[in-house]
Amino acid sequence: MFNVTVHGTGYVGLVSGACLAQAGNHVLCVDVDAAKVERLKAGEIPIYEPGLEEIVKRCVASGRLKFTTDVADGVRHGLFQFIAVGTPENEDGSADLRHVLTVARSIGEHLTDYKIIVDKSTVPVGTADRVRETVAQALRQRGSTLAYDVVSNPEFLKEGAAVADFMKPDRIIVGSESPAATELMRQLYEPFSRSHDKLIVMDIRSAELTKYAANVMLATKISLMNELANIAERYGADIEQVRIGIGSDPRIGYSFIYPGCGYGGSCFPKDVQALIRSASDVGFPAELVGAVDRVNDRQKTVLFQKITEHFKGKLEGRTLALWGLAFKPNTDDMREAPSRVLMEAAWAAGVKIRAYDPQSMHETRRIYGERPDLALCDSPEAALEGADALVLVTEWQEFRSPDLDMIKRKLSEALVFDGRNVWDPRTMARFGFTYYGIGRGASSVKPAAGKPLAAVV
């Protein structure tokens, strides 16, 4: 059992703090947003993440998880000082470290005994050095020489599965130059690696790069698969059959090779850009990483291109039903979401949107406000009313087996654009739909006996 302080109650900070408290530690989460802290104290969770609300409420009730705006109290409390604040993207693509360094300065200003300062935020290589110097500078201004260590402990939490990822991690990366700090980190994480030792210790800069490398590797697989999907479509091949063929190779595997309408969220777009910028800062042109980013930007326009081509450019006055607004299922996060690119292009063309998402309706309203060309509907069925076509953007589980007869009755035309290849083109054709997927060539679709085959693209 340790005393732990987590600076920042965003996605990473709140999940990390709650899970560390669940393991028996006494955790104090610090945030400068007083209103947010009060909501958290009252049991209101500002993000949607399966399982998180239950853990927060249970740990708050037990007294193991507390929230405050008092930075000095936070620094006094924890042996471990986790920095888990945001690192938003600057205009040039680099990571904005202002919040990270502000926390580091605050720790230095209030330090009274030995602490382990843990960089949990996703940060560029070399950030630990800047954190260490920022703390040292604050101590020098106080005339103090207190001891402290800085370690890198990047997070690998998937939105929608973050609690499970923290509680049962694939690996725990610790970048450290201090044997004492390393051993204490090992003890802190021991409850999360009981079956076998999942803690991987390396030097700090390697740990910092590991986080970026992991996300860029996954983003690369997605962009490459989308590139292959676009090639398959032009040859009349079915990328879903290609996916199964290449995924069976254990060197490739099936993870992250699902074609679609582009990746989004708070990690991949930002981290790809940050690595491009970081590479440039040391004089290396990261050409492949840059291509990954460009392919993804282009892929987010594919659905609107298909819609425009189907209607021969005559879009003004039409209505589209959108199923899914979040960038992925099991989250309410709409940062860099493909749905935003689609909606904004549609509105510019004079199209009205009727949308439904199980979790992101409030976030959509926060981003776009009330506008006459956006109707946020209470159900998938309601979104179909008066629509000329259905566009599936996010592959929520509840969209996977819809009532196709109902969809056909409600739409003015039996027309579907499937941005995640959730539905089978043959089934859609059998029900009389014109179906557009991502990289699903018509040559792979056969008409059912005695049934007309609608256009499948």
Q: Which residues are catalytic?
A: 267
Please, how many CA atoms are within 13 Å of residue 360, restricted to the half-sphere of its CB? Answer: 28
Q: Indicate if the alpha-carbon torsion angle 308, 310, 312, 315 is positive or negative.
A: negative
**Coil, helix or strand at residue 213:** helix
Cα–Cα dist 342/264, whole Å: 13
**Chain centroid offset of residue 364 CA:** 16
Query: Which tokens hold the place of 176?
Result: 């450290």
Q: Report yes or no: 153 and 175 within 8 Å, Cβ to Cβ.
A: yes
Give Cβ neighbours of residue 243 (< 8 Å, ≥ 6 apart).
225, 254, 257, 258, 259
Tell me how far CA of residue 138 lies from CA of 69, 106, 397, 424, 455, in angstroms. Answer: 20, 8, 50, 61, 68
Give Cβ neighbours of residue 303 (< 8 Å, ≥ 6 apart).
261, 338, 342, 391, 393, 417, 419
Tell me how far CA of residue 281 lies from CA of 27, 33, 214, 275, in angstroms. Answer: 37, 33, 20, 10
